[in-house]
Amino acid sequence: MTDDIREEFRVTGEQLLQQVKKLLHEGNVRSITIKDNKGVTVLMLPLTVGVIGVALAPMLAAVGAAAALLTECTISVERRTETPPSAP
């Protein structure tokens, strides 16, 4: 069984790209949403298990462009976690 967990991080525009890359390498991230300091969604990145290499390049370019425009932002991360089945 899988459960979804949502986390939020506040970062500066300079830290944004580095934090998103770190999250992508963790592997259990389902989606990343970037919001400005007013809470308006600037960029939403739905991720699948098979997203690698060439598919990430346009996403990271978009994150880099968003970082150039934002001084402070919030990264909202949806993670998938495995929960062990309960014993009968």
Tell me which of 49 and 60 has the higher pLDDT. Answer: 60
| pTM assigned to the model | 0.72
Question: Among residues 24, 26, 77, 30, which one has the least CA distance to residue 53?
Answer: 24
Give residue 28's pLDDT: 80
Alpha carbon 69 to its chain centroid, in Å, reads: 18
pLDDT digits (tens, 9 = 90+) for 2-57: 678 899 989 988 888 888 888 877 778 888 898 988 999 988 888 765 555 556 66
pLDDT digits (tens, 9 = 90+) for 67-82: 777 788 888 999 887 6
pLDDT at 86 over 70: no
